[in-house]
């Protein structure tokens, strides 16, 4: 047995002679490791060299827990050793968890590096930093983006032009670029807002058309997705969420239908069709009272809604209601 295995550790005689069912060598292993739980590194508790890989840590963990897990001593009297084994197990798990993840392992390696290792890594880091600084400076001299700084005015000008021609998203792009270069441009900010609003409305209209096209070929899922996207792009128009909710309802996705219908009502509380569709959703979810309430509101707001009238009538006649 190598003499220096326990690095000159002095064992307590009382611990070594406690009346438990563990052999003498195993006791030494347990006592030694337990005494070093806080000063050993994650690698040391796993009996691995510094900077060993994640895979090695996982392997070593398995070997070590088979020795140190209290469950591995069935029917044995463990006395004070049980608590020691439990603490060792927790420490081994902590070490494994930290080393099994490559990111935390690398960070830990830097922190626990031996002195000469640390010096070498530090030199390399400084060297790298120097080089990257140089590279950045070189890029800055030739980068066309940065060269554009003087052209803010031109950008705003071109944006206005594009607005006038109805190309809202391109206009928005130009205004945003101008603002990125000079965030203090007040009129560009207002213009960008307007461009964004109109660009979104246009996008929503486009999605709305696509939703109808998808519906026409009976792809309800896609249609619903498009309509919901339209509602998101242009939150001011209740028509979009109403349509999306109807589609979701037809697909039987009542939960989705419900949140869409509720969104529609939130956007326009006075919009009859929004109330109507919420009523339909509630009816589908079995909330008869809620459905009746919403349908009645819909009719109050918009007495021309014949479908709502029909539905309400049917709800009132339902045998289970």
> Total number of residues binding another protein (CB under 8 A)?
18
Asked if residue 75 binds another protein (CB under 8 A), the reply is yes
What tokens does 3 get? 């003499």
Q: How far apart are alpha carbons 56 and 62 in whole angstroms?
A: 10
Radius of gyration of the chain (CA): 36
* Only segment of 63-71, 131-139, 188-196, 260-268 that touches another protein (CB under 8 A): 63-71
* Residue closer to another protein (CB basis): 87 or 169: 87
Q: Give me 67's structure tokens.
A: 């020795």
Q: Of the ranges 59-67, 148-156, 169-177, 234-242, which one interacts with another protein (CB under 8 A)?
A: 59-67
Report the nearest approach of another protein to the CB of residue 24 (Å): 18
Minimum CB distance to another protein, residue 73 (Å): 8
114 forms part of the interface with another protein (CB under 8 A)? no
Q: How far apart are CA 134 and CA 140, in angstroms?
A: 10
Residue pair 271/243 in contact by the 8 Å Cβ criterion:
no
- 85 sits in the region (left: phi over 0; alpha: psi -120 to 50; else beta) called alpha
CA distance linking residue 160 with residue 177, whole number of Å: 13
Residue 93 in contact with another protein, rule: CB under 8 A? yes
Establish if 74 lies at the interface with another protein (CB under 8 A).
Answer: yes
Q: Closest separation between CB of residue 53 and another protein, Å?
A: 16
CB under 8 A: which stretch of 67-75, 130-138, 232-240, 290-298 binds another protein? 67-75
- Quote the DSSP letter at residue 285: T
Residues 6+ apart with CB under 8 A from 230: 203, 204, 205, 207, 208, 211, 240, 244
One residue of 66, 138, 250, 313 binding another protein per CB under 8 A: 66
| 51 makes contact with another protein (CB under 8 A) | no
Minimum distance between the CB of residue 74 and another protein, rounded to whole angstroms? Answer: 5
Closest separation in Å from C-beta 33 to another protein: 17
Q: Does 23 bind another protein (CB under 8 A)?
A: no
Provide the token pair at 214. Answer: 């998808």
Query: Considering only residues 72, 131, 133, 266, which one is a binding residue for another protein as defined by CB under 8 A?
Result: 72
Locate 88 and state its tokens.
């060792």
Region from 64-72, 164-172, 212-220, 307-315 binding another protein, contact rule CB under 8 A: 64-72
Question: Using an 8 Å Cβ cutoff, are 158 and 174 in contact?
Answer: yes
The yes or no reply on residue 62 touching another protein (CB under 8 A) is: yes
Candidates 50, 89, 169, 176; binder of another protein (CB under 8 A) is 89
Contact status: 221 vs another protein (CB under 8 A): no
Of the candidates 312, 318, 281, the one whose C-alpha atom is nearest the C-alpha of residue 297 is 312
Q: Which is nearer to another protein, 66 or 133 (CB)?
A: 66
* Count of helix runs (H) and strand runs (E) in the chain: 17, 0
Q: Which stretch binds another protein (CB under 8 A): 54-62, 127-135, 227-235, 257-265?
A: 54-62
Contact between 249 and 257 under an 8 Å Cβ cutoff? The reply is: yes
* C-alpha dist (Å) from residue 94 to 46, 66, 261, 310: 10, 16, 49, 66
Contact positions vs another protein (CB under 8 A): 58-59, 62-63, 65-66, 69, 71-72, 74-75, 86, 89-90, 93, 97, 319-320
């Amino acid at each position: 047995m190598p003499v220096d295995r326990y690095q000159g550790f002095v064992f307590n005689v009382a611990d070594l002679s406690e009346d438990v069912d563990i052999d003498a060598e195993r006791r030494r292993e347990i006592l030694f490791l337990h005494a070093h739980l806080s000063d050993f590194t994650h690698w040391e508790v796993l009996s691995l060299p510094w900077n060993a890989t994640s895979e090695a840590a996982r392997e070593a963990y398995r070997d070590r827990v088979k020795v140190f897990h209290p469950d591995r001593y069935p029917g044995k009297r463990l006395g004070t050793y049980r608590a020691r084994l439990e603490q060792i197990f927790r420490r081994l798990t902590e070490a494994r968890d930290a080393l099994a993840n490559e990111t935390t392992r690398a960070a830990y390696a830097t922190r626990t590096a031996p002195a000469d290792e640390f010096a070498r890594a530090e030199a390399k880091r400084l060297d790298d930093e120097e080089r990257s600084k140089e590279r950045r400076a070189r890029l800055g001299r030739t980068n066309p983006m940065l060269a554009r700084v003087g052209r803010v005015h031109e950008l705003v000008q071109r944006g206005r032009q594009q607005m006038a021609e109805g190309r809202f998203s391109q206009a928005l792009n130009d205004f945003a670029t101008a603002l990125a270069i000079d965030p203090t441009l007040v009129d560009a900010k207002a213009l960008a807002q307007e461009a964004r609003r109109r660009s979104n409305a246009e996008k929503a209209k486009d999605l709305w058309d696509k939703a109808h096209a998808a519906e026409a070929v009976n792809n309800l899922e896609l249609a619903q997705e498009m309509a919901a996207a339209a509602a998101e792009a242009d939150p001011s128009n209740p028509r979009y969420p109403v349509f999306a909710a109807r589609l979701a309802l037809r697909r039987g996705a009542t939960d989705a239908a419900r949140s869409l219908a509720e969104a529609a009502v939130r956007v326009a509380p006075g919009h009859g069709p929004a109330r109507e569709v919420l009523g339909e959703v509630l009816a589908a979810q079995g909330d008869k009272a809620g459905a009746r309430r919403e349908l009645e509101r819909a009719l109050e707001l918009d007495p021309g809604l014949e479908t709502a009238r029909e539905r309400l009538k049917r709800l009132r006649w339902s045998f289970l209601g």
